[in-house]
């Protein structure tokens, strides 16, 4: 039987996540990536440089951050095996746990549902603003619920499935290399003029890294939600991202909702196609149902990881 590193990582993250006192004292490993990326962006993403030069600087940035992340993880793995021998998988599992966001994602979405259930729209907007990038000031209750459901569905991939996928494929270095890539994409992988050239490598690398995990996430949500297959196949391509549409369309189909559609960023309304053909008036109950699907999906992941460990 293979070392059940992924099982331990899932169990630890689901049980305790990254405790607030620990975060307050030392931060989170992803914060280290963010600081490196921010430093590179400040020094190398210069408007007076040509687009080609800034694109090359972005390539160097993503290669450097991935090298640091995977190198540190590789060294930590080697040290654990040297010191602990056969028990090293316990340390590796603990080091992998912060790279999975099962507990964090759940803890960020639940307060949105509670605020909606209490008919506290202002609090619901404030809570959902912590997990989405769109303008929230004009969102009604249905808009807040849809935004939270969309964020939850998309994050199943980059927060849960993709890290575990790369952990199983390439061990601890694979997981932390993915987290570095995903962090870079979230910080600089944007289409706005400032980041378009410099963030090109981060965005394209993230697309490749999520190619398989996104589709696995969609399948996982359809299984956990007992439906959504037709909507996933039909509407996954309606998302601007080549990957995010898979879990979002799966969630929309499983819940019988219509997600996405026109939204505003920084006061600018963006016409986006809808995903799903169900109701548009999402409610707190729909958000709770989405959280239920998410919980079942996480249990399925635990079972799958255990099965892989046992089979190997």
Confidence at residue 1, expressed as pLDDT on a 0 to 100 scale? 46
E-assigned strand segments in the chain:
259-260, 263-265, 268-270, 274-275
Residue 139 and residue 147 in contact, taking contact as beta carbons nearer than 8 Å:
yes
Averaged pLDDT for residues 13-39: 90
Question: Rounded to whole angstroms, how far apart are CA atoms 155 and 168?
Answer: 19
| Nearest residue to 61 via CA among 187, 186, 205, 201 | 201
Confidence at residue 2, expressed as pLDDT on a 0 to 100 scale? 59
Confidence at residue 268, expressed as pLDDT on a 0 to 100 scale? 66
CA distances from residue 221 to 146, 154, 172 in whole angstroms, order as listed: 17, 11, 25
Question: Rounded to whole angstroms, how far apart are CA atoms 114 and 112?
Answer: 5
Confidence of residue 287 (pLDDT cuts 50, 70, 90): very high
* Helix or strand (DSSP H, E) at 154: helix 141-155
Which of the pair, 97 or 26, is modelled with greater confidence?
A: 97
Average pLDDT, the chain: 93
Distance linking the first and last C-alpha atoms of the chain: 5
Q: Which two tokens stand for residue 157?
A: 């991939």
Residue 220 and residue 189 in contact, taking contact as beta carbons nearer than 8 Å:
no
Q: What is the Cα Rg of the chain in Å?
A: 20
Averaged pLDDT for residues 12-39: 90
What percentage of the chain reaches a pLDDT higher than 90? 85
pLDDT tens for each residue of 206-262: 999 999 999 999 999 999 999 999 999 999 999 989 999 999 999 999 999 999 887
Which of the pair, 134 or 270, is modelled with greater confidence?
A: 134
What string of DSSP letters covers 247-291?
Answer: HHHHHHHHHTB-EE-SEEETTEEE---EE-SSBS---HHHHHHHH
Confidence of residue 199 (pLDDT cuts 50, 70, 90): very high
Confidence of residue 79 (pLDDT cuts 50, 70, 90): very high
Averaged pLDDT for residues 62-84: 97
**Which residues on neighbouring strands pair with residue 265, listed in sequence order?**
268
Q: Is residue 264 predicted with pLDDT exceeding 70?
A: no
Collapsing DSSP to helix, strand or coil, 9 comes out as helix
What string of DSSP letters covers 124-135?
Answer: HHHHHTTT--S-
Averaged pLDDT for residues 263-286: 84
Domain borders along the chain are 5-311
Residue 186: Cβ-neighbour burial (10 angstroms; 0-12, 13-18, 19+) = middle
Which of the pair, 267 or 53, is modelled with greater confidence?
A: 53
pLDDT tens for each residue of 139-193: 999 999 999 999 999 999 999 999 999 999 999 999 999 999 999 999 999 888 8
Residues in the chain: 312
Confidence of residue 3 (pLDDT cuts 50, 70, 90): confident
pLDDT tens for each residue of 126-149: 999 999 888 888 899 999 999 999
| Nearest residue to 186 via CA among 34, 32, 43 | 34
* Least trusted range by pLDDT, from 10-24, 45-59, 267-281: 267-281
Question: Rounded to whole angstroms, how far apart are CA atoms 134 and 96?
Answer: 31
Residue 202 and residue 60 in contact, taking contact as beta carbons nearer than 8 Å:
no
Confidence at residue 161, expressed as pLDDT on a 0 to 100 scale? 97
């Amino acid at each position: 039987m293979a070392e059940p590193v992924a099982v331990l990582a899932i169990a630890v993250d689901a049980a305790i996540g990254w405790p607030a006192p620990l975060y307050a004292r030392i931060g989170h490993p992803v914060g280290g990536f963010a600081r490196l990326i921010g430093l590179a962006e400040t020094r190398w993403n210069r408007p007076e440089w040509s687009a080609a030069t800034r694109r090359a600087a972005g390539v160097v940035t993503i290669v450097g951050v991935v090298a640091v992340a995977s190198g540190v993880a590789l060294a930590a793995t080697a040290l654990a095996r040297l010191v602990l021998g056969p028990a090293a998988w316990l340390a590796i599992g603990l080091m992998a746990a912060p790279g999975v966001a099962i507990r964090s994602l759940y803890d960020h979405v639940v307060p949105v549902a509670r605020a909606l259930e209490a008919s506290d729209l202002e609090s619901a907007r404030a809570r959902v603003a912590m997990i989405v990038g769109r303008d929230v000031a004009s969102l009604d209750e249905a808009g807040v619920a849809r935004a939270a459901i969309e964020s939850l569905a998309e994050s199943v991939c980059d927060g849960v499935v993709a890290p575990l996928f790369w952990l199983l494929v390439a061990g601890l270095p694979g997981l932390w290399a993915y987290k570095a890539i995903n962090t870079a994409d979230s910080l600089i992988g944007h289409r706005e003029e400032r980041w378009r050239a410099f963030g090109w490598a981060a965005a394209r690398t993230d697309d490749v890294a999520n190619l398989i995990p996104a589709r696995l996430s969609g399948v996982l949500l359809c299984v956990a939600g007992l439906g959504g297959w037709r909507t996933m196949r039909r509407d996954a391509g309606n998302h601007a991202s080549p990957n995010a549409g898979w879990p979002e369309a799966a969630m929309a189909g499983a819940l019988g909702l219509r997600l996405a559609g026109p939204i505003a960023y920084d006061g600018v309304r963006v016409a986006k196609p809808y995903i799903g053909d169900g109701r548009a008036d999402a409610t707190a109950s729909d958000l709770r149902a989405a959280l239920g699907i998410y919980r079942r999906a996480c249990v399925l992941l635990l079972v799958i990881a255990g099965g892989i460990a046992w089979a190997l």
